Every structure is written in C-alpha cells, then in structure tokens.
C-alpha cells in the first residue's frame, strides 16, 4: 500500500510539472500572446474603468451638470475636492445656489472613485489620462469647471 502511494505521488508530481511546462512552452512558442505594450511607441490600451483623474463633463454649449451640492466634497476621504458656491439671480429675482469653482487637488487624490459614485447628477467622471507629472506642484491643483461655463438647464 505504501509503495502504491509512493509511486502515485511521483506520477502525479511529474504530471503536474509537465502540465505547467506545457503552458510556459506554449507561451514561449506563441509570441502573439505577448501582452507587453511598448508604451511611448505604441498607443496604450487602457481598461474601460481605468481611474486616471477626475474631470468634469462639459457639453458643446460649455454647460456642465454640477449643481454645487458638495456631495463629492463630503464623500472625499482626504479633502481632495473643494467646492466654492455662489448665488445666481434668476430674471425673476430668485436667488439660486450654483457652482462657482470646482477645485480639485490631484496631488491628494487616491483615485478611489467615491466622488463619482456620490455625484447625484453624474457631472464628474474619471478620465483615462495618466501622464500627470509636472515640474511645479501648484500645477496639480486644478479648476475643473471651464471658465464661463454654467449649469445645464433642467438639472436640479
């Protein structure tokens, strides 16, 4: 009985090792499987949900969907986002809270995606960019809403 176990041990070990060698041998002979992307030379293919940085979506009329509700600012775990609000005065004379500046500190951001999840109007999203290095740290503090942009009509 002992001898039978011993021999079956050896047999199974050899079999599993050969299975592994078949796999690596397959990769060695099939170069089309190579997943390396030669980054500066070729255009890199990023996954759809790659989280590069937070951007605000603007349409062709330079309008965004941010209501200035500060849900993202509250959701952010390390104070990356700072919302500055202002009061718009409508033609009827009614005051309405609106976004003035969306300050985004890229140097603090951990790309956790919580702000995107928290946003009730889908005004912000994660971009696919990743080449963030700059020579001056202050360049990492960004204003996400474009100058002169305003909230899209109908977004509450």
Partner 1 sequence: MFSLEGVTNFIHTWLNNTFNPTLALLFEFVIVGLSVITLFAVLGLVLVLMERKVSAYMQIRLGPNRVGYKGSLQTVADTLKLAMKEGLTPDGADKFLFNLAPFVVMIVAMLIMAPIPFAKGFQMWDLNIGVLYVSAVSSVSVIGILMAGWASNNKYSLLGAMRSGAQIVSYELSAGLSIISIVVLTGSLQISDIIASQQNGWWIFKGHIPALISFVIFIIAVTAETNRAPFDLAEAESELTAGFHTEYSGMKFALFFLAEYVNIFIVCSIGAILFLGGWMPLHIGHWQGFNHVMDYVPSSIWFMGKVFFLIFVIMWFRWTFPRLRIDQLLNLEWKYLLPISMFNLLLMTLVAIMGWHF
**Shortest spacing between CB 30 and partner 1, in angstroms:** 9
Given 31, 49, 94, 95, the residue binding partner 1 (CB under 8 A): 31
**Shortest spacing between CB 24 and partner 1, in angstroms:** 4
d(CA 20, CA 22) in angstroms, rounded, equals: 5
120 binds partner 1 (CB under 8 A): no
Q: Which is nearer to partner 1, 28 or 87 (CB)?
A: 28
- Beta strand ranges found along the chain (DSSP E): 53-56, 63-64, 81-89, 95-105, 124-127, 141-143, 150-151
8 binds partner 1 (CB under 8 A): no
**Shortest spacing between CB 20 and partner 1, in angstroms:** 5
Cα torsion angle, 129, 131, 135, 140, sign: positive
Nearest to 73 by CA among 107, 114, 111, 112: 114
Residues contributing to the site for partner 1 (CB under 8 A): 10, 17, 20-21, 23-25, 27-28, 31, 33-36, 38
């Amino acid at each position: 009985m002992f001898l039978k176990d011993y021999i079956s041990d050896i047999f199974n070990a050899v079999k599993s090792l050969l299975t592994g060698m078949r796999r690596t041998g397959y990769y060695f002979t099939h170069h089309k499987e190579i997943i390396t992307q030669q980054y500066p030379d070729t255009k890199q293919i990023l996954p759809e949900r790659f989280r590069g940085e937070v951007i605000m979506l603007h349409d062709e009329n330079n309008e965004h969907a941010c209501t200035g509700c500060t849900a993202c600012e509250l959701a952010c775990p390390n104070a990356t986002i700072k919302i500055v609000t202002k009061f718009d005065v409508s033609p009827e004379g009614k005051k309405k809270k609106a976004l003035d500046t969306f300050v985004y500190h890229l140097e603090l951001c951990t790309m956790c995606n919580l702000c995107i999840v928290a946003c009730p109007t889908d005004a912000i999203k994660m971009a696919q960019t990743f080449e963030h290095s700059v020579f001056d740290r202050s360049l990492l503090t960004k204003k996400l809403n474009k100058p002169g942009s305003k909230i899209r009509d109908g977004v509450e």
